[in-house]
Amino acid sequence: MPDFTLISAPPLAGYDRSFGDIQLIAPTDLAIVSIALPLGGEDAAKKAIKTAFGIALPEVGMSNVAKDKTSSIMRLAVDQAFVLFPSATPDAEPQIAAKLKGAAYTTDQTDGWCALQISGPGARRALERICPVDLHPNAFAVNAVARTVMEHMGAIVARTGEDTFLLLSASSSAKSFLHAVEVSAQNAT
C-alpha cells in the first residue's frame, strides 16, 4: 500500500461569494446520474421513472422535483435526462439504477460536472451577457432547462426559482467557467 491517499474534492465546492445583489454559490455533494431511454423501450423506461420518482419524465427542456423532494430530473433531450440529488458517497449511479430496475441506461456524471448556483435580483443581468438562451421570465419559466454554450464552454442552465439558476459545466474547465461567471457578475453590478 502506498503511504498516501487521494482525497476527492469537487472543483468548486465551498465557493460562496456575493457581487452586489448577485449571490454565487457552489453546491456541495451534488450527485448527477444520466438516464438514457433505450431505443424501443422508451415507454417502459418512462413508466419505471414514474414509479421510481413519483413524477412523470418532464418534457424536453423542463425539469421537475421528485415527489419525495430528494432529487430532481432534468430532461435534456428526447432520450436523455439527468437526475440531480445530494449524495456525499461515490455510489450515485447504483442508487438510481436500483430505483429504475434496469428499465433505462444509467451513467454516473458526478465527476464530469461542476455546479454553480447564481441567485438574486441581478442574476439574470449577469447571465444575459454570457448565456445565448433567452432567460426572460416569460421565455424561460421556472423549472426550464437549457443545454447551451457560455464563453465557448458547454453548459446547462436551469431555472430553479424565481431569480435562481443552477449552472452546470465541465469539471475540467470549472475554474475557467467560474471566472467567466464571476467577471460577468462583476460587470453587472
Chain contacts with another protein (rule: CB under 8 A)? 39, 60-61, 76-78, 80, 132-134, 139, 146-149, 154
Distance of closest approach, residue 170 Cβ to another protein, in angstroms? 12
Secondary structure letter of residue 144 according to DSSP: B
H-assigned helices in the chain: 42-53, 92-100, 123-127, 174-187
* Sequence-ordered strand ranges (E) for 46-174: 63-65, 72-77, 80-86, 105-108, 113-119, 145-150, 153-159, 164-170
Could you identify the residue written with the cell 420518482?
Answer: 53
Distance of closest approach, residue 49 Cβ to another protein, in angstroms? 18
Shorter beta-carbon distance to another protein: residue 1 or 139? 139
CB atoms within 10 A of CB 20: 14
Distance of closest approach, residue 150 Cβ to another protein, in angstroms? 10
Contacts of 166 (CB under 8 A, 6+ apart): 27, 115, 116, 117, 156, 157, 158, 160
Distance of closest approach, residue 75 Cβ to another protein, in angstroms? 9
Shorter beta-carbon distance to another protein: residue 80 or 176? 80
Distance of closest approach, residue 112 Cβ to another protein, in angstroms? 15
H helices, E strands: number in the chain: 4, 11
Shorter beta-carbon distance to another protein: residue 63 or 119? 63
Shorter beta-carbon distance to another protein: residue 148 or 187? 148
Q: Is the distance from CB of 93 to CB of 108 less than 8 angstroms?
A: yes
Distance of closest approach, residue 123 Cβ to another protein, in angstroms? 20
Shorter beta-carbon distance to another protein: residue 95 or 143? 143
Shorter beta-carbon distance to another protein: residue 22 or 133? 133
